[in-house]
A and B are shown apart, each in its own frame.
Chain A
Amino acid sequence: MQSENTKLSTAWLFKMAWRDSRKNRSRLLLFISSIVLGIAALVAVYSFKDNLQRDIDNQAKELTGADLIIESRKAITPKRQLILDSLGEERSKEKSFASMVYFVKNGGNRLIQIKALEGNYPYYGNIETQPAIAAKSFQQGKDALVDQTLLLQYDAKVGDSVKIGEVTFKIAGSLIKAPGQTGISTTVAPIVYIPLKYLDETALLKVGSRVNYKFFYRFKNPNTVDEFVKKNENAFEIEGLSADTVASKKEETGRSFKDVSRFLALSGFIALLLGCVGVGSAIHVYIQEKLSAIATLRCLGLKAWQAFLIYLIQIFFIGLIAAVIGCVLGTLIQFLLPIVLKDFLPVTITMQVSWSAVAQGILLGLVISVLFALPSLLSVRKISPLNAIRASVEHGKRKFDPLQGIVYGLMFLFILGFTYLQMRGWIQTVVFTVGIAIAFGLLIAFSKLLMFLVRKLLPQSLSYVWRQGFANLYRPNNQTLMLTVSIGLATAFIATLFFVQGILINRVTLSAGSNQPNMVLFDIQNTQKESLAKLTKDYKLPLMNQVPIITMRIEEINGKKASGDSTDRGAFRGEIRATYQDTLTAAEKIVDGKWLGKVGENGEVRISLDQLYARRINVKVNDKIVFNVQGMLIPTVVGSLREVNWGRLQTNFRVVFPSGVLEDAPQFHVLMTRVPSSEVSAKYQGAVVKSFPNISVIDLDLVLKLLDEILDKIGFVIRFMAGFSMVTGWVVLISAVLTSKNQRIKESILLRTMGASRKQILSINAIEYFFLGALAATAGLILALSGSWALARFSFEANFVPPLGATLILLLGVILMVVVTGILSTRSILNQPPLKILRNEGN
Chain B
Amino acid sequence: MENILNIRNVSKIYQSAGSALTVLNQINFSITKGATVAITGPSGSGKTTLLGLCAGLDSATNGTVELNGIALENLNEDQRANVRNQNIGFIFQNFQLLPTLTALENVMVPMELRGAKNIKKHALELLDKVGLSDRSHHYPIQLSGGEQQRVSLARAFSNQPAILFADEPTGNLDAETSEKITKLLFDLNKDASTTLVIVTHDLELAAKTSRTIKIKGGVIIADQSNNVI
Contacts and interface: CB of A to CB of B under 8 A. Distances in A.
B57 A299 contact: yes
A23 interface: yes
Contacts of A5: 115
A385 B100 contact: no
B58 A293 contact: no
A390 B14 CA distance: 15
B99 A23 contact: yes
A300 B110 contact: yes
Interface in B134-151: 139, 141
A303 B82 contact: yes
Interface stretch (B27-35, B84-92, B188-196, B208-216): B84-92
Interface residues of A, number: 38
B187 interface: no
Interface string B52-74: 10010110000000000000000
Contacts of A449: none
A293 B95 CA distance: 11
Contacts of A19: 100-101, 105
Contacts of A691: none
Interface in A299-327: 299-305
B184 interface: no
Given A304-B81, A389-B57, A843-B141, A299 B100 contact: no
A185 interface: no
Interface in A808-839: 839
B51 interface: yes
Contacts of B115: 5, 8-9, 12
B179 to A, nearest CB: 23
B100 A394 contact: no
Contacts of A397: 15
A748 B34 CA distance: 48
A840 B98 contact: no
Contacts of B167: 389
A815 B14 CA distance: 46
Contacts of B96: 292, 295-296, 299, 388
Contacts of A299: 55, 57, 84, 90, 96
A9 B97 CA distance: 21
Contacts of B86: 301
Given A22-B100, A842-B141, A298 B81 contact: yes
B114 A20 contact: no
Contacts of A388: 57, 90, 92, 96
Contacts of A297: 98, 109
A384 B84 CA distance: 13
B128 interface: no
Interface in B182-223: none
A301 B52 contact: no
A22 B81 CA distance: 25
B99 A301 contact: no
Nearest to B79: A303
A386 B105 CA distance: 22
A394 B98 contact: no
Given A8-B115, A296-B97, 13 more contacts: A15-B112, A20-B98, A23-B100, A295-B96, A296-B98, A300-B90, A300-B109, A301-B86, A302-B81, A388-B57, A389-B51, A842-B141, A843-B99
B75 interface: no
Contact of A301 (B51, B58, B82): B82
Contact of B15 (A20, A22, A24, A396): A396
Given A388-B92, A389-B48, A21 B81 contact: no
13 contacts: A12-B112, A12-B113, A20-B101, A23-B100, A296-B96, A301-B82, A301-B114, A305-B78, A386-B52, A388-B92, A390-B52, A396-B14, A843-B141
Given A303-B81, A386-B57, A20 B113 contact: no
B16 interface: yes
Nearest to A5: B115
Interface in A3-23: 5, 8-9, 12, 15-16, 19-23
A28 to B, nearest CB: 12
A384 B78 contact: no
Nearest to B87: A301
Nearest to B76: A304
Nearest to B140: A842
A639 B181 CA distance: 106
A390 B43 CA distance: 13
A296 B113 CA distance: 13
Interface in A365-400: 384-386, 388-390, 394, 396-397
Contacts of A303: 78, 81-82
Contacts of A298: 81
Contacts of A16: 109, 112
A375 B203 CA distance: 46
Contact of B14 (A9, A384, A394, A839): A394
A298 B81 CA distance: 7
A585 B77 CA distance: 82
Interface string B135-178: 00001010000000000000100000000000100000000000
A839 B92 contact: no
A293 B81 contact: no
Contacts of A9: 115
From B16, B84, B86, residue with most partner A Cβ within 10 Å: B84
From A12, A299, A386, residue with most partner B Cβ within 10 Å: A299
Nearest to A381: B77
Interface string B1-41: 00000000000001110000000000000000000000000
B100 A301 contact: no
A832 to B, nearest CB: 16
Interface string A568-589: 0000000000000000000000
Contacts of A12: 112-113, 115
A538 to B, nearest CB: 89
A593 B14 CA distance: 79
Contact of B58 (A8, A304, A386): A386
Interface string B101-136: 100010001101111000000000000000000000
Contact of B100 (A293, A384, A840): A293
Nearest to B167: A389
A304 B15 CA distance: 25
Nearest to B101: A19
Contacts of B109: 16, 297, 300
A773 to B, nearest CB: 33
B71 to A, nearest CB: 18
Nearest to B55: A299
Nearest to B16: A394
